[in-house]
């Protein structure tokens, strides 16, 4: 049952353009802040790795993925 719950977790990706070095917690937080619109409510629970934040009352955890040409932040529901 737990396996299927993990499959249903929702999330979104944030591309770090031209990021050739592993992103710091500060860079991650800044990228998340830029991604959020004015209509969404953002509250950081942890600004240290792993970065966690609430977006419209949903808790997300940021995972860093290496992609072709840079890094991607995968924000998954916690």
pLDDT of 42 above 70: yes
Round to whole Å and give the CA distance between 18 and 71: 8
Residue ranges of domains in the chain: 2-77
| Rounded average pLDDT over 45-57 | 95
Confidence of residue 7 (pLDDT cuts 50, 70, 90): very low
Predicted pLDDT of residue 18:
75
pTM: 0.84
In this structure, the dihedral spanned by the alpha carbons of residues 18, 24, 26 and 30, taken in order and rounded to 10 degrees, is 30
Three-class SS of 27-63: HHHHHHHHHCCCCCCEEEEECCCCCEEEECCEEEEEE
pLDDT, residue 69, reads 80
pLDDT of residue 9: 62
């Amino acid at each position: 049952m737990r396996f299927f719950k993990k499959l249903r977790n929702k999330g979104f990706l944030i591309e770090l353009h031209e990021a050739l070095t592993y992103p710091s917690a500060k860079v991650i937080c800044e990228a998340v802040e830029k991604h959020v619109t004015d209509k969404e409510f953002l509250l950081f629970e942890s600004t240290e790795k792993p970065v966690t934040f609430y977006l419209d009352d949903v808790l997300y955890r940021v995972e860093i993925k290496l992609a072709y040409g840079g890094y991607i932040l995968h924000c998954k529901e916690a």
